[in-house]
């Protein structure tokens, strides 16, 4: 192997390892440094530009690796470009995406995606190294023999590795292009779908279809009573079913406005927000609160469903109240529009359609929670 190629392969692999280390410790190291807005705007631009650049280099590298003749100088050139500028830019961009300026969740997402990209790229570089070593061996065995093509499986492996780097680069570019608010919006839509699935399941649940034995066991039903008390049991079951049906109905009535919070916030507070939420610390904090609350609702709805199936009204009520708290906090956080990017200090943004919607929403929640409170204390 040419000395240059040996060196750059070793350097690249060492650099990749070093970068992985830098990205895995950055979560604790990065703080709210005073960076200019321009640097902010550029972090995502740099991120998408450098991931696109890496993708282009990877295309070249994989073609050079699988086609004969294997040209050491060309492969060296591509690796050098990655080492000297493409990879350092990618990692720098990722490190500029701090949790304080871009939210914790977005920061973690970017680090994760860039680390994945580096991992996939490392695999490709290792394969290129393997190919270079193999060509060396073949040449040593028979220096006069014409260079042979790689086997199909070797070519496939290199192409596959390149494809995986491409996918990773595309994901980074997409996340960088959509930005923080785009990312938050996607998460909120995922949580909305989870809530909807859980509510659909509750809707489809028929208490009467449940295994009676299961409930009898839970209610301490006694097997010996089964024969002589058949009629009483039926009556008891009817009552129990009616109670469960009522419980199901009031639960769904309660969850309906909760579900509406998701699309309302997406439409009114995320879709057209642009970078406004990021223009202030306050805006970033609001995004954090919004995500925290909207994310925690789906699992609580699952708990409500579980409590319903168990016939445990007090447990169901407990989780419904928690859901109400989270949903209310989310709505409250974004009741007013985002602060205008260059709004005067202390100036409150004007109320809008969503602000009015939120007032009605709070009234509705008060209404539907009355029946929950009544039922759980009954
Ligand atoms: C790799 O890049 C670093 C800077 O990122 C540079 O110092 C080093 O000389 C480069 N190595 C090679 C072999 O080009
Ligand atoms: C209902 O759920 C609560 C937990 O929230 C539990 O402590 C209680 O024992 C359950 N009641 C019944 C009847 O299963």
Q: What is the pLDDT of residues 17-39, one digit of tens each?
A: 999 999 987 654 444 444 444 45
User: Ligand 1: distance of its center to the CA of 84 in Å?
Assistant: 5
Residue 139 has pLDDT above 90, yes or no: no
Q: Is 89 in the pocket of ligand 1 (CB under 6 A)?
A: no
- Residues 327 and 259: their CA atoms lie apart, in Å, by 9
Q: Are 249 and 296 in contact (CB under 8 A)?
A: no
- Residues 313 and 251: their CA atoms lie apart, in Å, by 10
Of all residues in the chain, the percent with pLDDT exceeding 90 is 64
User: Whole-number mean pLDDT of the chain?
Assistant: 86
Residue-level pLDDT at 213: 47
User: Ligand 2: distance of its center to the CA of 313 in Å?
Assistant: 9
User: Ligand 1: distance of its center to the CA of 12 in Å?
Assistant: 8
Residue-level pLDDT at 377: 61
Q: What is the pLDDT of residues 304-359, one digit of tens each?
A: 999 999 889 899 999 999 999 999 999 999 999 997 655 555 677 888 999 999 99
Structure tokens at 233: 């049991």
Residue-level pLDDT at 40: 55
Ligand located closest to 19 CA: 1
Q: Is 318 in the pocket of ligand 1 (CB under 6 A)?
A: no
Residue 223 has pLDDT above 60, yes or no: no
> What is residue 337's three-state secondary structure?
coil
User: Ligand 2: distance of its center to the CA of 43 in Å?
Assistant: 51
Give the CA diameter of the chain: 99
Assign 146 a pLDDT band (cuts: 50, 70, 90): low
> What is residue 270's three-state secondary structure?
helix
Atom in ligand 2 nearest the alpha carbon of residue 318: 5
Residue-level pLDDT at 224: 45
- Residues 317 and 294: their CA atoms lie apart, in Å, by 19
Residue-level pLDDT at 25: 77
Atom in ligand 1 nearest the alpha carbon of residue 88: 5
User: Ligand 1: distance of its center to the CA of 83 in Å?
Assistant: 6
At residue 262, what are phi and psi to the nearest 5 degrees? -60, -60
Q: Is 4 in the pocket of ligand 1 (CB under 6 A)?
A: no
Nearest to 261 by CA among 332, 337, 186: 332
Q: Is 83 in the pocket of ligand 1 (CB under 6 A)?
A: yes
Nearest to 23 by CA among 111, 120, 92, 105: 111
Residue-level pLDDT at 371: 78
Of all residues in the chain, the percent with pLDDT exceeding 70 is 84
Which residue has the CA at smallest separation from atom 11 of ligand 2?
312
Could you tell me which residues come within 8 angstroms of residue 147 by beta carbon, excluding any fewer than 6 positions away? 68, 69, 70, 135, 138, 139
CA distance readout (Å), 331 to 105, 106, 162, 257, 293:
20, 21, 45, 11, 10
Assign 102 a pLDDT band (cuts: 50, 70, 90): very high
Which residue has the CA at smallest separation from atom 13 of ligand 1?
8
Pocket probe for ligand 1: among 2, 6, 11, the residue whose CB has the most ligand atoms within 8 Å is 11
Residue-level pLDDT at 122: 97
User: Ligand 2: distance of its center to the CA of 235 in Å?
Assistant: 25
Secondary structure letter of residue 267 according to DSSP: I
Q: Are 63 and 163 in contact (CB under 8 A)?
A: no
Q: Is 314 in the pocket of ligand 2 (CB under 6 A)?
A: yes
Pocket probe for ligand 2: among 315, 319, 321, 375, the residue whose CB has the most ligand atoms within 8 Å is 315
Residue 120 has pLDDT above 60, yes or no: yes
Q: What is the pLDDT of residues 77-96, one digit of tens each?
A: 999 999 999 999 999 999 99
Q: Is 260 in the pocket of ligand 2 (CB under 6 A)?
A: no
DSSP for 115-174, please give it.
Answer: HHHHHHHHHHHHHHHHHHHHHHHHHHH-TTSPPPPPPHHHHHHHHHHHHHHHHHHHHHHH
Q: State the sign of the Cα–Cα–Cα–Cα dihedral 208, 212, 214, 216.
A: positive
- Residues 288 and 101: their CA atoms lie apart, in Å, by 11
Nearest to 258 by CA among 307, 204, 328, 333: 328
Nearest to 83 by CA among 14, 21, 2: 14
């Amino acid at each position: 192997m040419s000395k240059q190629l040996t060196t750059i392969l070793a350097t690249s692999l060492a650099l990749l390892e070093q970068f992985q280390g830098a990205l895995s410790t950055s979560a604790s190291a990065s703080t709210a440094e005073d960076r200019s807005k321009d640097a902010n705007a550029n972090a995502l631009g740099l991120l998408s530009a450098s991931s696109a650049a890496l993708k282009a280099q990877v295309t070249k590298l994989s073609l050079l690796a699988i086609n004969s003749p294997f040209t050491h100088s060309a492969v060296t050139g591509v690796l050098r470009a990655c080492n000297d500028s493409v990879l350092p830019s990618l990692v720098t961009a990722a490190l500029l995406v701090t949790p304080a300026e871009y939210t914790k969740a977005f920061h973690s997402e970017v680090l994760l995606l860039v680390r994945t990209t580096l991992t996939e790229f490392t695999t490709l570089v290792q394969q290129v190294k393997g190919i270079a070593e193999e060509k060396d061996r073949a040449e040593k065995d028979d220096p006069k023999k014409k260079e042979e093509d790689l086997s199909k499986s070797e070519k496939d492996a290199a192409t596959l590795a390149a494809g995986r780097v491409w996918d990773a680069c595309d994901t980074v570019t997409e996340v960088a292009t959509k930005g923080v608010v785009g990312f938050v919006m996607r998460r909120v839509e995922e949580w909305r779908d989870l809530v909807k699935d859980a509510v659909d399941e509750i809707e489809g649940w028929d208490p009467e279809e449940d295994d009676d034995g299961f409930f009898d066991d839970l209610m301490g039903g006694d097997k010996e009573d089964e024969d002589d008390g058949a009629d009483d049991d039926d009556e008891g079951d009817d009552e129990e079913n009616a109670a469960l049906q009522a419980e199901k109905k009031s639960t769904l009535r309660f969850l309906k406005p909760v579900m509406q919070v998701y699309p309302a916030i997406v439409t009114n507070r995320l879709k057209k927000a642009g970078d406004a939420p990021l223009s202030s610390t306050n805006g970033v904090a609001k995004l954090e609160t919004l995500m925290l609350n909207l994310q925690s609702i789906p699992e609580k709805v699952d708990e409500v469903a579980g409590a319903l199936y168990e016939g445990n009204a007090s447990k169901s009520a407990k989780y419904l109240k928690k859901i109400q708290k989270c949903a209310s906090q989310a709505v409250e956080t974004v009741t007013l529009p985002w602060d205008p990017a260059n709004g005067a200090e202390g100036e409150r943004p004007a109320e809008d359609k969503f602000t009015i919607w939120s007032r009605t929403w709070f009234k509705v929640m008060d209404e539907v929670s009355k029946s929950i409170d009544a039922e759980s204390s009954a």
